[in-house]
Structure 1
Amino acid sequence: MLTPVVDDDGAPFWEYTARGELRVQACAGPGCGELRFPPRPCCPHCHSFDSEWRRVSGRGRIWSYVIPHPPLLPEYAALAPYNVIVVELAEAPRIRLVGNLVSGPDAPLNSVPGQRIRIGARVQVVFGTDGGDGVRLPRWVLERP
């Protein structure tokens, strides 16, 4: 498994995923509250530097997907073909997260056949077990398998 590159703005995201929580940054400026991702120091709407991390339901829908052939990264060659999906969050349709559609939290990346993936399908976030480095990537399962 590849590990994410963590910067100061995104570090809280990974701290929450390590605990099995999906949170996104929100503006804490007066009267704003806009959710944003990727995390950044300043709100693009009101320009406040005040922020907080809000827990979201982890529900969404598949906005787009791709099945790489051959895999672009050697670390994933044995799992090909596998999917990469873009999920639009239910609470914030402008926020889209990239991940994999899997059959369960600890299932391999190729556990859902490509022909079962549909744009608009409803999904729910899951977090697999820690791979030993403290990183738990958000993954997605179909709400109605």
Structure 2
Amino acid sequence: MADATTGPEPLLAPTPDEDGAPFWTYAAQGELRIQACARPSCAELRFPPRPCCPRCQSFDSTWRRMSGRGRIWSYVFPHPPLLPAYAEQAGYNAIVVELADAPRIRLVGNLVATPDAPLNSVAPDRLRIGAKVQVAFTEVDGVTVPRWLLERP
């Protein structure tokens, strides 16, 4: 909780671990990449990142570049905002995106009007399950994060 000595509560920033650090490094370069098994006979995509392939148990991995396109698989508008740091942006959404080139991979984020727009920049009636979206990247609290834009605004 914030007080006069600590200032405002920080927004939620990711805390990269060893397995997920490459995801954030690629995001800072404007690339959406997903971890994949490096064993040619497997090549299973996996998210969230982890040390071992759940399919073949190999510890070898690579990061495969994705197109950044997907569809809204689910969404919610938190009422009231669950975290005080987000209260000013009330009316914001949280969406789950199913990637077009990896349908079993789903990422959580926000649908916004432009990459740097506030989280409440898209009217609730614009969100639809199945709506096509495209990834965009913006810096938040010193970390580049993926956000989502409607393909046809």
TM-score bracket, normalised by the shorter chain, equals over 0.9
- The Cα of 1:67 is off from its aligned counterpart by 0.3
Given that 1:61 and 1:89 are in contact with CA atoms closer than 8 Å, whether structure 2 keeps it comes out as yes
- Select which of 91, 98, 106 maps to 2:108: 98
- Give the corresponding residue for 2:61: 51
1:5: how far off?
1.6
Q: How does 1:18-57 map to 2 (within 5 A)?
A: 18-57=28-67
RMSD: 1.0
Aligned length: 143
Q: Is the 8 A contact 2:13 2:141 kept in 1?
A: no
Residue number in structure 1 paired with 2:127: 117
The answer for the alignment partner of 1:15 in structure 2 is 25
Indicate which of 105, 130, 144 corresponds to 1:136: 144
Letter in 2 for 1:104: T
Q: Which runs of 5+ in 1 are unaligned?
A: none
TM-score (norm 2): 0.90
Displacement, 1:131? 3.8
Structure 2: how far apart are the matches of 1:25 and 1:93?
14
Distance in 2 (CA, whole Å) between partners of 1:2 and 1:20 is 20
Deviation for aligned residue 1:123 = 0.2
Contact kept? 1:102, 1:111, Cα under 8 Å = yes
What SS does the aligned partner of 1:136 have? Answer: strand
Write out the 4+ residue segments of structure 1 that deviate beyond 3 Å after TM superposition: none
Unmatched segments (≥5 aa) in structure 2: 1-10
Q: Please say which of residues 60-69 and 29-38 is displaced more in the overlay.
A: 29-38
**Native 8 Å contact 1:29 1:49 kept in 2:** no
Larger-Rg structure: 2
Letter in 1 for 2:113: S
Which of 94, 97, 100 aligns to 1:84? It is 94
1:30 positional shift:
3.4
1:17–1:136: 8 Å Cα contact kept in structure 2? yes
Partners of 1:75 and 1:41 in 2: how far apart? Answer: 32
